[in-house]
Structure 1
Amino acid sequence: MSHPWPRKVYTSPMQRAITHLSTAFVIAFILEAASLAGDWAQFRGENAAGVVGTSGEVRYPVRLSSPSSLLWKVALPPGISSPCVLGDRIYLTALKDSALVTLALERETGKLVWEKPAPAERIEEVHQIGSPATPTPCSDGRRVYVFFGSCGLLCYDLKGELAWSLPLGPFKNNYGQASSPVLWRDRVILNCDQDIDSFLLAADKETGRVIWRTPRPGFPRGFSTPVISSTGGKDEVLVAGTLRLISYDPNDGKELWSIRGLARIVNSTPVLGGGLLYVSSYAPGADADDRIQPISFAKFAVEHDADKDGFLVENELPEGPFRTRYRQLDADKDGKITPEEWDSMQQIFEAARNSIFAVKPEGSGELPQSRVLWRHERAIPYVPSPLYVDGLVYILKDLAILTCLDAKTGQVLKQKRLPAGGNYYASPVAAGSTIYTASQQGGLCVLRAGKDWEVVDQLDLKETCMATPALAGGKVYVRTEKHLYAFGERQ
Structure 2
Amino acid sequence: MTSPRSGNLAICILVLSTTLGALGSTGHPAAAEDWNVFRGPSANGIAEAGTSVPTEWSREKNIAFRTELPGQGWSSPVIANGRIYVSAAIPVDQQSDAKATEYELTLIVLDAKNGEILKSVPLMRQTAEKSARIHKKNSHASPTPIVDGNRVFVHFGYQGTACVDLDGNLIWKNRDLFFKPVHGNGGTPVLVDDKLIFTCDGAKDPKVVALDAGTGKLAWEVKRPNDAKKKFSFCTPLTIVIEGQKQVIAPGSDCVLAIDPASGNVIWELFYSGYSVIPKPIYHNGLVYLSTSYDTPSLLAIDPTGQGDVTETHLRWSINKNVPHTPSLLADEEYLYSISDDGIAMCVDAATGDVVYKKRVGGGFSSSPVLVDGKIHYTNESGETTVIATGPKYKVLAENDLGERTLASAAVDANALIMRTADAIYRIEE
Q: TM-score range by the shorter chain?
A: 0.7 to 0.9
Alignment of 1:83-232 (within 5 A): 83-97=77-91, 98-122=103-127, 123-149=131-157, 151-217=159-225, 218=227, 220-232=231-243
- Given that residues 195 and 262 in structure 2 are in contact (C-alpha distance below 8 angstroms), is that contact kept between their aligned partners in structure 1? no
Q: How far apart, in 2, do the equivalents of 1:66 and 1:201 lie?
A: 42
Matched, 1:403 2:346: yes
1:149–1:424 distance in 2 versus 1, CA, 3 Å? same
Aligned to 2:326: 383
How many Å separate the matches in 1 of 2:398 and 2:335?
21
Offset of residue 406 of structure 1:
0.7
Aligned letter for 1:365? G
> TM (normalized to structure 1)?
0.75
Aligned to 1:249: 260
Following the alignment from structure 1 to structure 2, what is the Cα–Cα distance between the partners of residues 196 and 146?
Answer: 24
Deviations, residues 132-168 of structure 1 (Å, cap 9, x unaligned): 1000011112110011135301011000111110114
Amino acid at match of 1:267: I
Secondary structure at the aligned position of 1:212 is classed as strand
Asked if 1 retains the 8 angstrom alpha-carbon contact of 2:272 and 2:292, the reply is no
TM-score normalised according to structure 2 size: 0.85
| Larger of the two Rg values belongs to structure | 1
- Does residue 25 of structure 2 align to residue 46 of structure 1? no
Distance 2:261 2:157 in 1: 22
Contact 1:132 1:150 in 2 (8 A): no
Q: Report if the CA contact (8 A) 1:281-1:355 is conserved.
A: yes
What is residue 421 of structure 2 aligned with on the other side? 480
83-92 or 116-125, larger mean C-alpha shift: 116-125
Query: Does the Cα contact within 8 Å between 1:52 and 1:472 map onto a contact in 2?
Result: no
| Inter-CA distance 169–203: structure 2 relative to 1 (3 Å threshold) | closer
**Higher share of residues assigned strand:** 2
- Post-superposition CA distance 1:57-112 (Å, at most 9, x none): x4222223494421111111321000011121111011222322111111111111
Q: CA deviation at 1:121?
A: 4.2
- Amino acid across the alignment from 1:145: F
Q: Give the corresponding residue for 1:436.
A: 377
User: For residues 135 and 200 of structure 1, what CA distance do their matches in structure 2 show?
Assistant: 15
Distance 1:472 1:390, change over 3 A: farther
Deviation larger for 157-166 or 200-209: 200-209
Residue 455 of structure 1: aligned partner: 396
Displacement of 1:391 in angstroms is 1.7
Give 1:460 deviation, angstroms: 1.5
CA–CA distance in structure 1, aligned partners of residues 139 and 335 of structure 2:
32
SS in 1 for 2:31: helix
Alignment-mate amino acid for residue 300 of structure 2:
F
> What one-letter code is carried by the residue in structure 2 that aligns with 1:248?
I
Residue 453 of structure 1 deviates from its aligned partner by 2.8
2:35 partner amino acid? W
What amino acid is aligned across from residue 50 of structure 1 in structure 2? Answer: G
Q: Is the deviation greater in 377-386 or in 96-105? A: 96-105
Is the CA contact 2:111–2:118 (under 8 Å) kept in the aligned structure 1?
Answer: yes
Q: Which secondary structure state, in structure 2, belongs to the residue aligned with residue 259 of structure 1?
A: strand
Aligned partners of 2:304 and 2:314 also within 8 Å: no
Q: Distance in 2 between matches of 1:52 and 1:279?
A: 21
**Mapped pair 1:360 → 2:303:** yes
User: What's 1:72 paired with?
Assistant: 65
User: Are 2:272 and 1:261 equivalent residues in the alignment?
Assistant: yes
Contact 1:64-1:457 at 8 Å conserved across structures: no
Give the residue type in structure 1 aligned to 2:136: Q
Q: Which runs of no fewer than 5 residues in structure 1 stay unpaired?
A: 1-30, 287-353
**Per-residue deviation, 1:169:** 4.3
Please, which of 50, 53, 57 is the counterpart of residue 60 of structure 1? 53
Which residue of the partner structure matches residue 331 of structure 1? none
Bigger relative contact order (CA 8 A; separation at least 6): 2
Q: Percent identity?
A: 31
Cα distance in structure 2, aligned partners of 1:248 and 1:398: 29
Report Cα offsets for 1:298-321 as digits up to 9, x if no partner: xxxxxxxxxxxxxxxxxxxxxxxx
What is the aligned partner in structure 2 of residue 13 from structure 1? none
Q: What SS does structure 1 have at the residue aligned with 2:378?
A: strand
Structure 2 unaligned spans of 5+: 1-27, 92-102
> Which moves more between the two structures, 198-207 or 251-260?
198-207
**SS of the residue aligned with 2:342?**
helix
Conserved? CA contact 1:177–1:192, under 8 Å: no
Structure-to-structure mapping, 1:12-23, within 5 angstroms: none
Amino acid at match of 2:265: K
Q: In structure 2, how many angstroms separate the alpha carbons of the residues matched to 1:47 and 1:247?
A: 18
Q: What is the rounded CA distance, in whole Å, between the counterparts of 1:46 and 1:261 in structure 2?
A: 30
Q: Residue in 1 aligned with 2:95?
A: none
RMSD over equivalenced CA pairs, Å: 1.8
> Counterpart of 1:208 in 2: which secondary structure?
coil
Q: Deviations over 1:460-488 (max 9, x none)?
A: 11111111111232221111100111112
Per-residue deviation, 1:215: 2.2
How big is the shift at 1:128? 2.3
Judge conservation of contact 1:124–1:132 (CA < 8 Å) in 2: no
Q: In the TM superposition, what whole-angstrom CA distance separates every residue of 1:302-346 from its partner, at most 9, and x where no partner exists?
A: xxxxxxxxxxxxxxxxxxxxxxxxxxxxxxxxxxxxxxxxxxxxx
Q: Which 10-residue stretch deviates more, 194-203 or 227-236? A: 194-203
Q: Deviation per CA, 1:196-244, whole angstroms, max 9, x where unpaired?
A: 1222222222221222122225361101101101011110110011111
Counterpart-to-counterpart distance in 2, 1:197 and 1:414: 40
Deviation at 1:398, TM superposition (A): 2.6
Distance 1:435 1:67 in 2: 22
Following the alignment from structure 1 to structure 2, what is the Cα–Cα distance between the partners of residues 428 and 281? Answer: 18
Pairing of 1:270-285 with structure 2 (within 5 A): 270-284=281-295
**Change over 3 Å in CA distance of 1:66–1:99 after alignment to 2:** closer
CA drift at 1:427: 1.0
Q: 2:159 & 2:288 partners in 1: Cα distance? A: 32
